Structure 1
Amino acid sequence: MRNLLLGTAMLAASTCAALAQDTVRMATEGAYPPYNFINDANEVDGLDIDVGNEICARAELDCTWVTNDWDSIIPNLVSGNYDAILAGMSITDQRDEVIDFTQAYFPPDPSAYAGMGDVDVGSAVIAAQTGTIQAAHVAETGATLVEFATPDETVAAVRNGEVDAVLADKGFLAPIVSEDPDLEFIGEDVILGKGIGIGLRESDTELKEKMDAALTSMKEDGKLAELMAKWFPDVDPNF
């Protein structure tokens, strides 16, 4: 999933550990289906939420969900506004310098280009969400990068002709491409990141241990594979 490029972001000191609180506050974006989104009941839903709820049940944690915009989701974690991030967040070296991660609960999701016709992605105008590793990858290819605040805006930019193509997680783009006859995947997939994990403050070692133990048990008894199959039926759960 998208990898927020931290740049000069600084790790703020946390005044209290998550487990010292009555409730573990879980943050997600709520705008990146099928990882996370707001459903018809106006509740957060998706793979991230199912995984988080199962972890909380197994670790006997009292958890609550909040939503936060993508571009500030890490700064608000380190400043103590919540205690964990489950937002389709890929584990990267850049992030790991500022926050900690559990083990991965989803393999690296291929990124893919989608457009409305044959495009040379190395020289075209490409949309990507601001602050993602897809945006950094586009910039490195020599293409013209146009950044947008939300993933939906990147797709809209392709449809209205602002850009030639979008680069995003294939899991996000696949249902959009399948339902829009004007859109198609372009070229080969691009593998970015080290899999998706839960983002935590470096100081919250006890919370990390509890969550990792729950994830290990979910992998061993097949529950994680079941949740992956629910939201990503074509992804191999044995990663």
Structure 2
Amino acid sequence: MKTLTLTTAALALTAGMAFADAHSTVRLGTEGAYPPFNFINDAGEIDGFEADVGNELCARAELTCEWVTNEWDSIIPNLVSGNYDAIIAGMSITAERDEVIDFTQDYFPPTASVYVALSADADLTGVVAAQTSTIQAGYVAESGATLLEYATPEETVAAVRNGEADAVFADYDFLAAIVDASGGELTYAGEPVPLGGGVGMGIRESDAELRDAMDAAITSMKEDGTLNTLLVKWFGDDVTTY
């Protein structure tokens, strides 16, 4: 294990230095509106699980990084067009997205998506809210329910509260804190639905060196337990770890 860890660190350093030779700063694009994955804190800074992960990855790959926020529905086009160098924004790895961009390995394990409503017996074949351009929106569209799409995750929850939607469908790890804080107003409905192949960093297909540097750094975080520590910090003891 020690030999493997040293090899991984060397790979991360080599790939990171190669990319840094051609890029003075690596720009990390995130939404900043999807707690606890990523959000803007009271000081106006990017915060959350992915802020911790991204900063640690850059340190291990010896890259100078800066954070950029971008609305979710244009986050992939703006990566492709060069507005930033990587996406780290709670993005599930899917075959459809992988046709447009590359992904690192997952830094957040595959998990379930859930329905949340005002009642546990809500009509899940009625109107269901989901954030646009997500795997959850795609699932609802194919489920027979009426999909109501919103630009931000907060709007999907508000749609349930104000009666515009019968339920919201999103990542469990996003909705869990909202349900817990609702004082019984919101509850889970139906069964959890496994979707996606875990959450990874999105990288332009032309930036193989950056992808390799981040991939090696993720491996090293898994091997030494740092990633598991951050998972528990932000998602609690019940989170799936590596």
Q: Which structure 2 residues correspond to residues 74-93 of structure 1 after superposition, within 5 A?
A: 74-93=76-95
- Residue 204 of structure 2 is matched in structure 1 by 201
User: Given that residues 123 and 166 in structure 2 are in contact (C-alpha distance below 8 angstroms), is that contact kept between their aligned partners in structure 1?
Assistant: no
Q: Which structure 2 residues correspond to residues 123-202 of structure 1 after superposition, within 5 A?
A: 123-180=125-182, 181-202=184-205
- Residue 236 of structure 1 is matched in structure 2 by 240
Q: Which structure 2 residues correspond to residues 16-165 of structure 1 after superposition, within 5 A?
A: 19=20, 20-117=22-119, 118-121=121-124, 123-165=125-167
Runs of 4+ in 1 over 6 A off after TM superposition: none
CA shift, 1:208, in A, is: 1.0
CA shift, 1:18, in A, is: 6.1
Unaligned runs of 5+ in 2: 1-17
SS at match of 1:135: helix
Task: State how far apart, in whole Å, the 2-side matches of 1:18 and 1:157 are.
Answer: 44
Unaligned runs of 5+ in 1: 1-16
Task: State how far apart, in whole Å, the 1-side matches of 2:103 and 2:200 are.
Answer: 6
Task: State how far apart, in whole Å, the 2-side matches of 1:235 and 1:177 are.
Answer: 16
SS at match of 1:110: strand
Task: State how far apart, in whole Å, the 2-side matches of 1:112 and 1:68 are.
Answer: 25
Cα deviation per residue 1:194-227 (whole Å; 9 max; x = unaligned)? 0000000001111111111111111111111111
Residue type at the aligned position of 1:237: T
- Residue 226 of structure 2 is matched in structure 1 by 223
Task: State how far apart, in whole Å, the 1-side matches of 2:177 and 2:212 are.
Answer: 35
User: Given that residues 124 and 143 in structure 1 are in contact (C-alpha distance below 8 angstroms), is that contact kept between their aligned partners in structure 2?
Assistant: yes
Residue type at the aligned position of 1:86: I
Task: State how far apart, in whole Å, the 1-side matches of 2:87 and 2:206 are.
Answer: 15
Aligned length: 221
Could you say what the CA RMSD is over the residues aligned between the two structures, in angstroms?
A: 1.1
Q: Judging by fraction of residues, say which structure has more strand.
A: 2
Q: TM-score, normalised by structure 1?
A: 0.90
